[in-house]
């Protein structure tokens, strides 16, 4: 399940995001997350959302989820 925020960016539901990234080794960079998602047949909506992530390393699924889901809820997520 996904939703579209007020800026028309697709925001995946946290559970769908974590399921899609099962098996990812963290820390991970957005390009690694996109590569993993593409190789595991993840939906194009989630791949697109991962491609919009700020270019930095993510330490785990919770940090990744906050970066995607939290920033579109009006929360500022630091580096």
Structure-block tokens of residue 12: 């995946």
**Cβ atoms of 27 and 19 closer than 8 Å:** no
Does the predicted TM-score (pTM) go above 0.85? no
Return the pLDDT at 50: 93
Question: Which tens digit of pLDDT belongs to each residue from 17-44?
Answer: 888 889 999 999 999 999 999 999 999 9
Return the pLDDT at 5: 46
Stretch 3-26: mean pLDDT: 75
Task: Check whether 56 has a pLDDT greater than 50.
Answer: yes
Which residues lie closer than 8 Å to 73 by C-beta, 6 or more apart?
Answer: none
Return the pLDDT at 25: 94
51 vs 70, more confident: 51
How far is Cα 23 from Cα 6, in angstroms, rounded to an integer?
Answer: 31
């Amino acid at each position: 399940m996904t939703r579209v925020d007020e800026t028309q960016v697709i925001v995946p539901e946290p559970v769908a995001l974590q399921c899609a990234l099962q098996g990812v080794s963290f820390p991970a960079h957005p390009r690694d997350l996109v590569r993993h998602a593409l190789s595991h047949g993840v939906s194009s909506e989630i791949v697109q959302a991962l491609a919009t992530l700020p270019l930095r390393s993510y330490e785990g699924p919770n940090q990744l989820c906050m970066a995607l889901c939290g920033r579109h809820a009006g929360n500022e997520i630091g580096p």
